[in-house]
Amino acid sequence: MARDEQLKERWSALQLKISNQFADGDMLDLDAIIYLVGVQELGQPHKKFKKDHKLDLMHIAICRLLEPYGYYEFEYFDEDKWPHYKTIETLPSLKAGEQSVLMKEAIVNYFIENGYIE
């Protein structure tokens, strides 16, 4: 199976599973799933977050998701237990579609590593 086709199938299966678990079947988009990864990485799933913290959670998720690609490296947890990352390599300029594919691939790999999907 071609790599792109496999990613497409895995993404669809993951999106459906997460949507059923967290959104009563309403299909979650890429940003919503990135947000959920941020909440998972912070380790405070039952806390209510303000808008600015939601953006911070998405930043945490993006750093964590792109860490295996060599773009970010975990640095430390602050006094509030929020993870901090440092930039290792600047992200290349990507078109919107290319960004989406990279993030979907990173998310699928993240959930495979965590045993949520196969």
pTM above 0.85?
Answer: yes
**pLDDT score recorded for residue 1:** 56
In this predicted model, what pLDDT tens digit does every residue of 7-59 receive, in sequence order? Answer: 999 999 999 999 999 898 799 999 999 999 999 999 888 888 888 899 999 99
Residues 81-110: pLDDT tens digits?
A: 999 999 999 988 999 889 999 999 999 999
DSSP state of 29: -
- CA 87, 116, 15, 41 torsion-angle sign: negative
Rounded distance, CA 72 to CA 90, Å? 9
